[in-house]
Chain A
């Protein structure tokens, strides 16, 4: 009996129901004439089908007609459907994740951190936007310069200085290698101090600018736009003397602090007043030599604070709404189960 394959049983079953094609039926009948086992199986299957077929057609124990109240009241409102529960749960997850994301990242906004440019050239740095004490900025700039001197030695320092004062048409490679940001920044500083900064540049990519790796040179116009707001901000805070000192200390970009990331008051080298000429030399242009326009008030801090408040508010609201959706999903699921059990 077990020598027959599943395909044989399928053929026999379909043969009983008259569902074989003419060719299949003819082929099977030839086999049936030749194989006793196949015939026996066909007979037993026919008997089985006959037995099942003789089961009586049942009569419904009652009428299943609907009356109006049943037809109407059994209609499940959408909030009670499984689809609603599933959608609510999905919305809850999305809103809570979105809200958590907003809250997390609004708390660590770059607006509250200071410049954190590593002393190693090419490292990624962060951008400050907070106001800082000008005196601190001078001290920090000086400290940074001293630190850099220690790290890179006098040779590099000399090379830098020569590059700064324009003694050499081609500044030495190693000097520029860690002073790479300076020309660009000084261009910006000069532009800003000269009152050419664009007031509408507060959306400039400060972070992107400062985060650029060494060797990257921004197009002058882009750099100008990017740094204008910071320059203005710093200018508003700094005294002329502080600017002078900062300029001196931060020449050739050495005002970039090497302080640890915990430092929150490190200033930007905003008072740098150097100009990179078209032939590649760097000229010093002290702040005192070009009159600084009166500090321009800026709304950047308020805007940033507002943006932070907005994002944290949206985050909180998202989480609350998400929790409401989650509760709705749970309640409707439980209600549905209770109804089914009842």
Chain B
């Protein structure tokens, strides 16, 4: 439905006038992006779903602050901020956060876009879990930049626009995040499928 920019702008205008159906069309177009970003930052599916829902509610309420430009980037900025808010809240309430994380350990396998065979799925899940654990070990700022760049496939300029930081900071954080992930994966590469094992040059 949001196949072209003109259609998207039309939906945005209608949504800004209070048309909930138009806004929901935009939600359907970007909910996978939003959920993926939330999942990679939050590290569990339940929190990711909550954050995604809250983000779209916030987006609907703040549509009047949208000043044109990349709507996807605007939505993902809200998602990022909502994730940060939630992570900060968890830090303030570590007990509640541990409970939530414990509950999510069991059902934390997200639904991929294309469901593979059971064997492939098991292998993929193992790899994904290892990578996700490494991503989760990054600092919030490095994690966000890396998810946006290497998972969401955003350009540096998009990341700059969304996070409101300068290009040098984005480059620096991304570089550090990649080195950290590389080191993390090297320490657990026996868990990875052989085709994904990193060369150990040490």
Contact = CB atoms under 8 A, between A and B. Distances in A.
A66 B49 contact: no
Interface stretch (B2-10, B26-34, B98-106): B26-34
A158 interface: no
Contacts of B124: 56
Contacts of A340: 89
A65 to B, nearest CB: 4
A179 B156 CA distance: 84
B71 interface: no
> How large, as a class, is the contact surface on chain B?
35 or more
Interface in B12-67: 20, 23-24, 27-28, 31-32, 34-36, 39-40, 45, 49, 52-53, 56-57, 60-61
A66 B52 CA distance: 12
Contacts of B201: 1, 40, 44
Interface in A9-62: 9-10, 12-14, 17, 19, 40, 43-45, 47-49, 51-62
A51 B49 contact: no
Interface of A: 1, 6, 9-10, 12-14, 17, 19, 40, 43-45, 47-49, 51-68, 70-71, 74-75, 340-341
Nearest to B167: A19
A52 B181 contact: yes
Contacts of A63: 27-28, 31
7 nearest A-B pairs in the assembled complex, by CB-CB distance: A56-B112, A13-B175, A65-B24, A48-B182, A60-B35, A52-B150, A58-B36
Given A44-B199, A48-B178, A14 B171 contact: yes
Contacts of B146: 52
Contact of B27 (A12, A47, A65): A65
B113 interface: yes
A65 B53 CA distance: 8
B36 A57 contact: yes
Contacts of A67: 20
Contact of B20 (A44, A60, A62, A66): A66
A53 to B, nearest CB: 6
B135 interface: yes
Given A9-B176, A64-B31, A66-B23, A48 B198 contact: yes
B131 interface: yes
A14 B159 CA distance: 14
A45 B35 contact: no
A66 B198 contact: no
A10 B131 contact: no
Contacts of A40: 199, 201
B11 interface: no
A45 B178 contact: yes
Contact of A52 (B27, B61, B135, B156): B135
A66 B110 contact: no
Contacts of B24: 65-66
B178 A53 contact: no
B16 to A, nearest CB: 13
Contacts of A58: 32, 35-36, 39, 110-113
Contact of A66 (B60, B127, B135, B153): B60
B151 interface: yes
Given A44-B198, A52-B150, A17 B49 contact: no
